[in-house]
A and B are shown apart, each in its own frame.
Chain A
Amino acid sequence: LAKTTQPISMDSYEGQEVNITCSHNNIATNDYITWYQQFPSQGPRFIIQGYKTKVTNEVASLFIPADRKSSTLSLPRVSLSDTAVYYCLVGPNRDDKIIFGKGTRLHILP
């Protein structure tokens, strides 16, 4: 079971680029890396998923180095509304369960 480690919290300012790094040293060959965003009192929302190199969508970019032991979620030019908890997940797991850790609390300041 690939365990993930990410910072508990981060602060940044409006208009900045924010990078949140997740470590997953024992990632398996068939594992994907997935990021979710959760606002207070709401369910998490899928942001992006990748396997290697770089993936970009309208919300974020995901950078994955060649060894795949870490990944970085990049949020360009954040705004106050990007204040949320961001979860990094790695899998699929052998028993088909998705494991959400505590995530990273991102606080955007004006």
Chain B
Amino acid sequence: DGGITQSPKYLFRKEGQNVTLSCEQNLNHDAMYWYRQDPGQGLRLIYYSQIVNDFQKGDIAEGYSVSREKKESFPLTVTSAQKNPTAFYLCASSISGTSYEQYFGPGTRLTVT
């Protein structure tokens, strides 16, 4: 089955620790995205990548880092510099960077205490 997988579904960390969220897709899509969603809010773009080995900051990139070494994978690291990391994180992909049809993963709910 083609799709996007994110793991784990729930993640708990202590304040001050970096944590990496996994995102893998087997749709052969060029573009991948990370969003953050807080309760009752819309999605906010953290980082996006239109092609392997290239990525751009979204609207709320501070405190986050990404890599895109493989087409299938776009991991997100939430660093200790992110002041309010507790949120629902969603990864998505699209066939290209200009396509508005994005496919989303199931999300990772991160809780930092």
Question: What is the count of residue pairs linking A and B with beta-carbon distances less than 8 angstroms?
Answer: 51
B43 within 8 A of A: yes
Residues of B within 8 A of A101 (CB): 42
Q: Is the interface of A mostly helix, strand, loop or mixed?
A: loop
> Is there contact, CB below 8 Å, between A100 and B43?
yes
CA distance A91 to B43 in the complex (A): 16
Q: Chain A contact residues (Cβ within 8 angstroms of B): what range?
A: 20 to 34
> Is there contact, CB below 8 Å, between B45 and A97?
yes
Residue of B nearest to A99 (CB): B45
Residues of B within 8 A of A44 (CB): 43, 90, 102, 104
CA distance A83 to B68 in the complex (A): 36
> Is there contact, CB below 8 Å, between B43 and A45?
no
Report A42 CB to chain B, min CB distance, Å: 7
Interface positions, chain A 41-76, Cβ under 8 Å from B, are 41-46, 49
Over the window 88-113 of chain B, the binary record of Cβ atoms lying under 8 Å from chain A Cβ atoms (1 yes, 0 no) is 10101000011011111111010000
> Is there contact, CB below 8 Å, between B58 and A102?
no
> Is there contact, CB below 8 Å, between B100 and A49?
yes
CA distance A36 to B35 in the complex (A): 15
A27 within 8 A of B: no
> Is there contact, CB below 8 Å, between B98 and A46?
no
Contact of B98 among A45, A49, A92 (CB under 8 A): A92
**Besides A43-B90, A98-B102, 6 new A-B residue pairs in contact (Cβ under 8 A), listed by A number:** A41-B88, A42-B107, A44-B104, A92-B98, A96-B97, A98-B45
